[in-house]
Structure 1
Amino acid sequence: MIREKTFYRTFFALTLSLALQNLLTYGVNMMDTVMLGRYSQDAMGGVSLCNQVQFLLQMLVVGAGEGAVVLGAQYWGKGDLAPIPHIIGVALRFGGTLAAALFMVVLWAPERLLSLLSNEPAVIAQGVRYFQIICFTYVIFTLTNILVASLRSIGIVKIGYVISFSTLCINVFLNYCLIYGHFGLPELGVRGAAIATLVSRCVELGIVFYYLKYRERRLHLSLRSLVHIDVSYVRDYGRVSAPVLINQALWGVAQMVQTGILGHLGGDVTAANAIAVQVYQVLSVVSYGAASASGIVVGKTIGAGKREDLKGLVFTLQVIFVALGLSAGGAIFLLRGPILRVFGGALTARAGTLSMQFMAVMAVTTVGTSYQMACDNGIIRGGGDTAFSAKMNLVSMWLIVVPLSAMAAFWWRAAPVTVFFLLKWDQLYKSIPVAIRLHSWKWVKTVTRPEK
């Protein structure tokens, strides 16, 4: 274990900053779920289906941004910041193109897309109303998050949670006004929630532009520097980012397939899944923050040429990941009842029972997630090995999880909680291949260009 107190102060300050940003980001979707859950179970279910597309977008944005983070952190470790604006410019092009494509798909065929995720007409109808507005946030969300992720690669994290906090406050206030029709405004239900999110995303992007123009002093980013880039960095970025993009895309699609499996088991199951997933996302933010922080720390260490420090660093990080997983799992299990009471009487009795069961499953699988996800997406990816995760998740999700859970749902007619467990149990068994890869040390790679 590392014994220097300065390491722990630095690491946990970075972890908590990233966790706070994640908490505020997930809090936007959580408040949509809670406030719509008190308004109508069908409205909550419809929006939860739309949020699966939002989750796919988030995965693509993470994939596009991680290429910039991995490269940026190693260049930062070398003390060479000049290539980073070029890398950010490439990432914005990749991410913006993907977001625009997803926007067109949702705008043209919202009902057809939602029918793949549910067979409940009332739930689909609510989702279509939400989709028709929320799709206009996709490109805005992508630009904001890639810029924030890129700044994170050189240790600038405060702007992330300032943005997310602003978004949460605006979103909650406008939700209250527009979902229920307060302060003389019309009662718009799911459309009100979508409008609130659209306004929040526009404010987010405005804050980022202001920060880059008037406060950022390390990279001196400007519109000109992001547009006029050295295209030779496209190859560097693509080599690092392509495996991450593929992995994140496969993961996002897999989550939509999982939602579709549960969605075809009935509206109560859809509602219970929506609650369990949102609770998990909010209560596991510290684990995800630790994963992101470890990627930055490991990347900077390798970039600085201090490979001899990796052994103690990696062991220490693993202990931290397991401790955070146990804490998050315990919190989910203990808070199930109080969380469910927040939704009031809008849920059916069966939806409430299923929510308790699903959250109990999440409490167990979260421990595995905290370890294997943080080691994989944090240490291994931060070390320059971006391909391992894509290969592992391709086999795990598409050859084990999806076929087995689909058979359990539609052939064996298993109970919803059994199907839910089979959709999440990969978070436990993936700890084995991740641990093997981690201790092989084959993931340590230098992805920056050599000194001239």
Structure 2
Amino acid sequence: MERLKLKSNNKFLFRWFLSLAIPVGLQNLLTYSVALMDSIMVGSLGEVQLSAVTIANQTFFLLMICIYGLATGASVLISQYWGEKDTRTIAKVFGIVLRLSLLAGAVATVSVIAAPYQVMAMYTNDHQVIEYGAQYLPLVGLSFLPYAFTNTYLTCVRSVERVKIAVITYSISFAVNVFFNYVFIFGKFGAPAMGVAGAAMGTVIARLSELAIVLVYAKKEQRVKLSFKCLVQNDKLLWKDYLRYALPVVVNEMAWSVGMSVQTSILGHMGVTAVTTVGIISTVMRVTTIFVYGSASATLVIIGKYIGEQQYDTARKSANALVWANILIAGLSAAALLLLKNVFMGLYTLTPETYAALDATMYVAAFIVIMQAIGLSCVVGVFRGGGDTMFCMILDIITMWAMALPLGALGGFVWHLSIPVVFLFLRFDEVVKVFICLWRLKSGKWLNNVTRANKDKDAFAGC
């Protein structure tokens, strides 16, 4: 009977897991497909233009990771409060994170509009690349605030098992982006041929379409309410909880994103070939690992909800099963990357030198995908779902900043190694994290209930 019960529970768990992971994966596919189409369309203009847009988008990448950290930090609280069906507290948490996300979006917007040349010069010393990037940045900066609102809201509603709206939103946005990219990059239907600036224009229009859809949807959503009172009201207890559990996520993600920018800077100073190679590799990895990230996000929601319901033993058993599910999905993703590598490479106009470097780096990327998935399933999924955010922050910062980045810098500038080897060194933190994460998972120290007792929650001001 016990075996039958366990088998039945596992079937329910995996059905639940897939019902969350697949829509989130599709959302990621649509999001990254926008980046892929941008790079393909801009890449047809030349390698210098592609390098310029790749480097210029580092500012958006930093903003994206900042907002992801803010919203995912909120998800640690929201997923557990959803286990208690406490929508009032969920609305308050959303109000806190939305204010912070909009502030981050405003700072990024002002930066790229006021100093586009200085921003580009942080990543490359190639004058042509800087010039094209400076054409792109001021326009694309207008998309930052709409993105901040939309992405924050969709991440929070994901934590209460509302996942279809994101797929609908990004499906429409993808179509809008591709169409207006075509119009403005190449000058179709009477529009001027704007080149890289046209890609920025297409992005702005797509972000505005996302914002419009989400605002309409939010009026009817009851699990994460969009209330002006929630947006402006402060609760000291909730701010304290958010800072305790979400701030480490924000610091974690920002330290990781700055580290990724340092990686880009290291590669940028190795030449256009290195920038183009890793720019394409990064896009391909994002597209082929969409369900890896979706699986980690689904794991967070499930673990958080079980803990909020105080089903601690179920949370522990589910964590082990879900990590294995994540590994399986990662293996399939790595296989897809290698099977489709020639197709991806054929989409770009490349020099023989860049083609050879890209081909070799694809195999390194497939290995990193599997290593990364184990870390993501634990750090982003199980540990954050269990409120173990401080450990995650320390782990990521040490492995990247004390190991991977110094190793990559030595490989690129001192030892003058090939692009594939330098790329492996720069991502070596993913390998180290595997062993530490599996040890932490087995220990069970990651499991924490971050919700407050009912008497404490009664102190929260209502919305």
**Equivalent residue, structure 2, for 1:267:** 272
- Say if 2:327 is the partner of 1:307: no
**What amino acid does structure 1 have at the position aligned with 2:293?**
Y
Cα drift, residue 159 of structure 1: 1.0
**Equivalent residue, structure 1, for 2:339:** 334
CA distance in structure 2 between the partners assigned to 1:276 and 1:3 by the alignment:
40
**Equivalent residue, structure 1, for 2:322:** 317
Q: Counterpart of 2:346 in 1: which secondary structure?
A: helix
CA distance in structure 1 between the partners assigned to 2:280 and 2:213 by the alignment:
30
Residues 292-345 of structure 1, C-alpha deviation per residue, up to 9 Å, x if partnerless?
0000000000000101112321221121111111111111112111111112xx
Q: Counterpart of 1:322 in 2: which secondary structure?
A: helix
**Equivalent residue, structure 2, for 1:442:** 445
**Equivalent residue, structure 2, for 1:135:** 141
**Equivalent residue, structure 2, for 1:77:** 83
Give ranges in structure 1 of 5+ residues lacking alignment: none
**What amino acid does structure 2 have at the position aligned with 1:186?**
P
Out of 250, 262, 271, the residue aligned to residue 255 of structure 2 is: 250
Aligned pairs, number: 449
Contact 2:45 2:195 survives alignment (8 Å): yes
- Say if 2:222 is the partner of 1:222: no
Q: Counterpart of 1:447 in 2: which secondary structure?
A: coil
Residues 247-299 of structure 1, C-alpha deviation per residue, up to 9 Å, x if partnerless?
01101100110001111111111111111000000100101000000000000
Change (3 A) 1:207 1:223: farther
**What amino acid does structure 2 have at the position aligned with 1:102?**
A
**What amino acid does structure 2 have at the position aligned with 1:311?**
R
Contact 2:316 2:444 survives alignment (8 Å): no
**Equivalent residue, structure 2, for 1:3:** 7
Q: Counterpart of 1:83 in 2: which secondary structure?
A: helix
Cα drift, residue 150 of structure 1: 1.2
Residues 173-223 of structure 1, C-alpha deviation per residue, up to 9 Å, x if partnerless?
01111111112211111100000000111111111110011x313344233
Out of 355, 364, 375, the residue aligned to residue 372 of structure 1 is: 375
Residues 146-182 of structure 1, C-alpha deviation per residue, up to 9 Å, x if partnerless?
1111111111111111111111100000111111111
**Equivalent residue, structure 1, for 2:418:** 415
CA distance in structure 2 between the partners assigned to 1:358 and 1:133 by the alignment:
32
CA distance in structure 2 between the partners assigned to 1:348 and 1:169 by the alignment:
30
CA distance in structure 2 between the partners assigned to 1:322 and 1:405 by the alignment:
26
- Say if 2:129 is the partner of 1:123: yes
- TM-score normalised by length of structure 2: 0.94
**What amino acid does structure 2 have at the position aligned with 1:266?**
G
**Equivalent residue, structure 1, for 2:245:** 240
**What amino acid does structure 2 have at the position aligned with 1:159?**
I
CA distance in structure 1 between the partners assigned to 2:162 and 2:84 by the alignment:
17
Q: Counterpart of 1:162 in 2: which secondary structure?
A: helix
**What amino acid does structure 2 have at the position aligned with 1:391?**
I
Q: Within 5 A, what are the aligned runs for 1:52-63?
A: 52-63=58-69
- TM-score normalised by length of structure 1: 0.96
Cα drift, residue 124 of structure 1: 1.6
Range moving further from structure 2, 17-26 or 1-10: 1-10
Q: Counterpart of 1:87 in 2: which secondary structure?
A: helix
CA distance in structure 2 between the partners assigned to 1:411 and 1:220 by the alignment:
54
Range moving further from structure 2, 100-109 or 400-409: 100-109
**Equivalent residue, structure 2, for 1:29:** 35
CA distance in structure 2 between the partners assigned to 1:218 and 1:377 by the alignment:
23
CA distance in structure 1 between the partners assigned to 2:301 and 2:195 by the alignment:
41
Cα drift, residue 243 of structure 1: 0.3
Contact 1:36 1:44 survives alignment (8 Å): yes
CA distance in structure 1 between the partners assigned to 2:136 and 2:104 by the alignment:
21
Range moving further from structure 2, 244-253 or 177-186: 177-186
- Say if 2:21 is the partner of 1:15: yes
Identity %: 33
**Equivalent residue, structure 2, for 1:285:** 290
CA distance in structure 2 between the partners assigned to 1:161 and 1:102 by the alignment:
26
Range moving further from structure 2, 243-252 or 46-55: 46-55
Q: Counterpart of 1:342 in 2: which secondary structure?
A: coil
Contact 1:110 1:132 survives alignment (8 Å): yes
CA distance in structure 1 between the partners assigned to 2:147 and 2:269 by the alignment:
30
**What amino acid does structure 2 have at the position aligned with 1:312?**
K
CA distance in structure 2 between the partners assigned to 1:83 and 1:76 by the alignment:
9
Residues 355-401 of structure 1, C-alpha deviation per residue, up to 9 Å, x if partnerless?
21222211111001111111111101111111112101111111111
Contact 2:123 2:268 survives alignment (8 Å): yes
Q: Within 5 A, what are the aligned runs for 1:54-203?
A: 54-203=60-209
Q: Counterpart of 2:443 in 1: which secondary structure?
A: coil
Cα drift, residue 131 of structure 1: 0.6
CA distance in structure 2 between the partners assigned to 1:121 and 1:353 by the alignment:
25
